[in-house]
Structure 1
Amino acid sequence: MVKNTGRPGYLQIADDLRAQIRGGALAPGSLLPSTAQLAERYDASLSVVKMAVGILRNEGLVIGQQGKGVFVRDAEVAPATAGALEGEVAELRTAVQDLSARLAKVEEQLATSTTHRPGRSSR
C-alpha cells in the first residue's frame, strides 16, 4: 500500500518492487502481476503503477513482452544495463559541465563587448 509520506506513490511502488526483485521474491524470468493487480495491491491508480513499472524498465530490471506481460530480467543482464546507463549519465554530466563553462565564456565576452564598444558614446 502506498503511504502518505510525501514521497510520490510511483516511487514507493518502484522501491518495493525493486526490493522484491533484488531480494529474490521476484526471481529472474518471473512474471510481474498485471497492472490491475498491482494497482489493487498498492491501492493506487493504473497510471501510478505504470509509472513505477516504467522506472524499473528504465533501470533494466524488468522487460515487457507484447501480449505476454512484464518479466523480471536475468540478474546477469540487468547490472550490465545499469552500468551502461551510469556511464552514459557520467558522459552527459561531463558534456553539460563543458557546455556550461563555454557558455559562461561567451556570456562574459558578450557582456564585455556591449559595454566597451569603440566609437559608441554614452548619453
Structure 2
Amino acid sequence: MVKHTGRPGYLQIADDLRSQICGGSLAPGSPLPSTAQLAAQYDASLSVVKMAVGILRNEGLVIGQQGKGVFVRDVDEAPVEDLAGEVAELRSAVQELSVRLARVEEQLTTSTERPS
C-alpha cells in the first residue's frame, strides 16, 4: 500500500517492486502482476502503477512484451554496467559544469563591480 510520506506513490511502488526483483521474490523471466492487480495491491490508480513500471523499464529491470505482459529481465541481460558507466560520466560532466559555472560567475562578478 502506498503510504502518505510525501514521497510520490509511483516511486514507492517502483522501490517496492525493485526490492522484490533484487531480493529474488520476483525471479528473472517471471511476469509482474497486471496493472490492475498492482493497482489493487498498492491501493493506487492505474496511471500511478504505469509510471512505477515505466521507471523499472527505464532502469532495465523489466521488459514489456506486446500482448503478453511485463516480465522481470534476467540480471545478465540488464545493463547494470552500462548504468554504472553512465552515472560515472554524468558525475564527471556535472563536476566539469560546476567548475565552468564558478568561472563564469566569477567573471560576471568581476565585470559588474565598479570602482568607487
Question: If the TM-score is normalised by the length of the shorter chain, which range does it land in?
Answer: 0.7 to 0.9
Distance 1:3 1:116, change over 3 A: closer
Hey, what does 1:10 align to over in structure 2?
10
* Structure-1 separation of matches of 2:87 and 2:26: 28
Hey, what does 1:101 align to over in structure 2?
99
SS at match of 2:71: strand
* Structure-2 separation of matches of 1:102 and 1:108: 10
Hey, what does 1:32 align to over in structure 2?
32
Q: TM-score scaled by structure 2?
A: 0.84
Would you say 1:41 and 2:48 are equivalent positions?
no
Q: Post-superposition shift, 1:38?
A: 0.8
SS at match of 1:77: coil
Q: CA RMSD for the aligned pairs?
A: 2.0
Distance 1:15 1:103, change over 3 A: closer
For residues 91-111 of structure 1, the C-alpha deviation after alignment (integer angstroms, 9 at most, x for no partner) is 112112212211221232233
Hey, what does 2:90 align to over in structure 1?
92
Unaligned runs of 5+ in 2: none
Hey, what does 2:68 align to over in structure 1?
68
How many residue pairs get matched? 116
Unaligned runs of 5+ in 1: none
Q: TM-score scaled by structure 1?
A: 0.80
Q: Post-superposition shift, 1:39?
A: 0.6
**Larger Cα Rg: Structure 1 or Structure 2?**
1
